[in-house]
Amino acid sequence: MGHDTKLEELAIKLFSIDAVKMGEFTTKSGIKTPVYFDLRVIVSYPEVMEMISNLLQEYAIKDCAYDHVCGVPYTALPIATLLSVITKKSMLMRRKETKSYGTKKSIEGHYKAGQTCLIIEDVVTSGSSVLETVKDLRKEGLKVNKAVIILDREQGGSANLLNNDVEITSLFTMTSLIEILYKNRKITEEMMLKVKAYIKETQAVVLEPSVDRLLLPYEKRAELATNQIAKQLFNIMATKKTNLCLSVDLTSVTSILDLLEKVGEHICMVKTHVDIIEDFNKDFVTQLKQIADRFNFLILEDRKYADIGHTVSMQYMKGVYKVGEWADCVTAHSLPGDGVLKALNGHMNSVSRGVFLLAEMSSEGNLISPEYKDATVAMAVKYPDLITGFVCQNKDTFKDPGLIQLTPGVQLESSKDSLGQVYNTPEKVILENGADVIVVGRGIVAAKSPETQVVIYKDALWKCYTKRVSGKLE
Ligand SMILES: O=c1ccn([C@@H]2O[C@H](COP(=O)(O)O)[C@@H](O)[C@H]2O)c(=O)[nH]1
């Protein structure tokens, strides 16, 4: 049987097992699509797994020289396993989350720096999942320049990957697959044309930055930021050499102002919860702003807005606190939909303001799922002038180097409090998890001498950041 016939047979098979679906779907990045590929189902069909691995071997990887194969987690793992067995090449496995115990390795298997690894992936859209795996393998000294893919959605992935020195070969493009299905009367002409029109519309996907945000210094990232507060914050960090945001969770005006007088020179931002202050008054805000100006730090009110847009609009500007009048930036949940962002955006007239969207939380048992996190990041894309960054815990949450990863739940030792707060160390949050601005509350505020402790934190956090941007990670 010829190669084209085998591909045709596979395309029809994928359609019959519902790995290719027609209708109206929303992708991980929030784009509407008339066709959806769910190749996770292939594990239930050994004959399909066999067809795919044979075709990849005969067609895509026959002439490649490589020492290992590595599947992009998770759908491609069984295919990589089969290919490893067929080709008698060793397999490497990338962990999505590094272990906090034992070897702490992100790549499992035996390998040597300088060896070559071939990537296996099921579907490529922007290429970002392939890139995450490529980066982890390259960190180990492995050479990675080639990926073989079952389906290329033709939405910028191959260009993004080439931009990062990775060439791809795919069994199908979305166009070739759809043409086979039409030729074999599995879909109507109308559906085929709809998919082709969709491919044309979405082909101009923005190039993934070839630059890794984690390796870029703050001053460079300031140039890439579109939100004015993100720009300011990057510049403050670079100038003052501090990425410490102090969470002043104290309940009286004088305790907050006195503390800020002592520690202001060491922080890039202060984070408040104004609704816990028992003697809040307008004068507090005036003094807070004066101290912030004098020591050159920003003010983040951690209000975590989470209501319908109309209510958020009033909560932001009205009531006792009138947050919009004095806070440089605020936090908000994406849960109610982007009405929250529309409301906050409506108040950004002449003043620079920003929003940190909560994409993840530090507390144990929180209900945020990977899908919710991705949808939060997709929501932010529509508000480039408003979004300062994300409150999150992981480096893979977003890629844009102009946005800021704000990470709470940090103390010098890993621990937990009695109400579910989880603390990670500066090394873990900056070097492993990608934090840009680090929120510390009780680690400093509850210390015997906050003015001594603030310097200890500032130095530890800055040391990790300089190590990260120097690229000298062990
Ligand atoms: O996921 C989140 C989001 C916000 N916070 C806030 O940060 C500080 C942390 O204070 P610690 O004393 O260092 O625990 C606090 O104001 C939280 O409301 C968070 O912890 N986790």
C-alpha 54/C-alpha 469 separation (Å) is 42
How far does residue 466's CA lie from ligand 1's centre (Å)? 24
Ligand 1 midpoint to CA 239 (Å): 26
> Residues with beta carbon inside 6 Å of ligand 1?
247, 249, 273, 302, 361-363, 391, 408-409, 421, 439-443
Cα(341)–Cα(379) distance, integer angstroms: 9
What is the model's pLDDT at position 201?
75
**What would the mean pLDDT of 144-155 be, rounded to a whole number?**
93
Q: What is the mean pLDDT of the chain?
A: 92
From the list 315, 259, 328, the residue with the least C-alpha distance to 291 is: 259
User: What are the tokens at 337?
Assistant: 């939909």
- Give the per-residue pLDDT at 63: 80
Tokens of 142: 């492995």
Which of the listed residues 368, 410, 421 should we mutate to test ligand 1's pocket, taking the one with most ligand atoms within 8 A of CB? 421
User: Comparing 209 with 378, which gets the higher pLDDT?
Assistant: 378
Name the residue ranges covered by the structural domains of the chain.
3-201, 213-470
Q: Which residue of the set 38, 67, 212, 307 is catalytic?
A: 307
Q: What is the pTM of this model?
A: 0.64
Residue 119 predicted with pLDDT over 90: yes
Residue nearest (by alpha carbon) to ligand 1 atom 10: 441
Which architecture, in CATH terms, is 3-201?
Answer: 3-Layer(aba) Sandwich (3.40)
On whether the CB atoms of residues 378 and 28 are closer than 8 A, the answer is yes
Testing ligand 1's pocket by substitution, the residue of 362, 363, 454 carrying the most ligand atoms inside 8 A of its CB is 362
Instruction: Look at residue 30 in the predicted model and tell me its pLDDT.
Output: 57
- In this structure, the residue with its CA closest to atom 3 of ligand 1 is 361
pLDDT tops 50 at residue 369 = yes
Give residue 18 CA to ligand 1 midpoint distance, Å: 44
Q: pLDDT tens digits, residue range 2-19? A: 778 999 999 999 999 999
Of 47-61, 92-106, 300-314, 434-448, the poorest mean pLDDT is in 92-106
Atom nearest to 417 CA in ligand 1: 14
Would you list which residues are annotated within the binding site? 249, 271, 362, 421, 441-442
The answer to whether 302 is a known catalytic residue is yes
pLDDT at 61 over 90: no
Give me the mean pLDDT over the 13-28 stretch. Answer: 88
> Mean pLDDT throughout 10-30?
86
Residue 474's pLDDT band, with cuts at 50, 70 and 90, is very low
Query: Among 138, 211, 123, which residue's Cα sits nearest to residue 168?
Result: 123
Q: Which of 108, 188, 123 is nearest to 154 (CA)?
A: 123
pLDDT at 49 over 90: yes
Q: Give the strand pairing for 404-407 and 437-440.
A: parallel
Q: Are 35 and 29 in contact (CB under 8 A)?
A: no
Helices (H), ranges, 264-395: 282-295, 309-317, 323-326, 339-345, 370-380
Annotated catalytic residue within 96, 304, 322, 342: 304
Q: Whose alpha carbon is nearest atom 7 of ligand 1?
A: 408
Annotated binding site for substrate: 249, 271, 362, 421, 441-442
Residue-wise pLDDT tens digits, 190-211: 999 999 888 877 765 455 555 6
Contact call for residues 145 and 117 (beta carbons, < 8 A): no
pLDDT at 164: 83
Q: pLDDT tens digits, residue range 319-364?
A: 999 999 999 999 999 999 999 999 999 887 768 999 999 999 999 9
Distance 395 CA to ligand 1 centre (A): 18
- DSSP-derived letter for residue 146 is E
Q: Are 391 and 360 in contact (CB under 8 A)?
A: yes
**What pLDDT does 120 receive?**
96
What is the ipTM, given to two decimal places?
0.98
- Using DSSP, state whether 442 is helix, strand or coil: helix
CATH superfamily, with its number, for domain 213-470: Aldolase class I (3.20.20.70)
CA of 86 to the centre of ligand 1 (A): 50
In the prediction, which pLDDT does 186 show?
Answer: 94
Decide if 280 contacts 253 (C-beta within 8 A). Answer: yes
Q: Is the pLDDT of residue 34 over 70?
A: yes
